[in-house]
């Protein structure tokens, strides 16, 4: 009976440690844990902050390349604006911690550092995006919206 209790406590401790080791971790080697890639954290620091470039013709149908920088419990762009019909390519750069980027309305879910996703912004209105990797105490604050005009 005591062995069963000890095993349950050990399993619970391992689960808790694994759950809380996401974006709140201070280990820089955690950035590419699921990709098998080498650690490139910080190589693009300061180069793409706020990038929202591309052809944005009045009627839409252009293309937008957007780099989102994620750090512990926030994205550098809480609001993104595009034209309806634009082809949008989003790149996620984890500047601090390990995060994901998801836009459920467009079936986008990037879970690797410097990963990209491309979609056509064909649904007008506001669409929520959020961190898709459970990353610690401030995970629920990692939200924003993409506005399709």
**R_g over Cα of the chain:** 18
Q: What is the DSSP letter of 140?
A: G
Average pLDDT, the chain: 73
Tokens of 147: 């506005």
Closest CA to 131 of 90, 82, 72: 72
**What is the predicted pLDDT for the residue at 4?**
55
Q: 117 with 81: CB under 8 angstroms? A: no
Does residue 23 sit in helix, strand or coil?
Answer: coil
Q: What is the pLDDT of residues 54-87, one digit of tens each?
A: 444 456 789 999 999 999 888 999 999 999 999 9
Closest CA to 114 of 131, 101, 130: 101
User: Is the pTM of the predicted complex or chain greater than 0.85?
Assistant: no
């Amino acid at each position: 009976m005591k062995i069963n209790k000890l095993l349950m406590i050990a399993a619970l401790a391992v689960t808790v440690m694994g759950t809380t080791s996401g974006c709140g971790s201070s280990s820089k080697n955690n950035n590419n844990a699921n990709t098998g890639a080498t650690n490139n954290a910080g190589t693009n620091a300061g180069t793409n902050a706020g990038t929202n470039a591309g052809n944005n013709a009045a009627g839409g149908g252009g293309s937008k390349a957007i780099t989102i920088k994620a750090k512990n419990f926030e994205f550098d762009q809480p609001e993104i604006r595009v034209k309806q019909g634009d082809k949008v390519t989003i790149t996620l750069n984890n500047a601090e911690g390990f995060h994901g980027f998801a836009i459920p309305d467009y079936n986008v879910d990037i879970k690797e550092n410097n990963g990209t996703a491309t979609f056509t912004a064909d649904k007008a209105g506001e669409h929520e995006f959020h961190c898709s990797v459970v990353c610690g105490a401030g995970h629920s604050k990692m939200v924003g919206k993409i506005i399709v005009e």
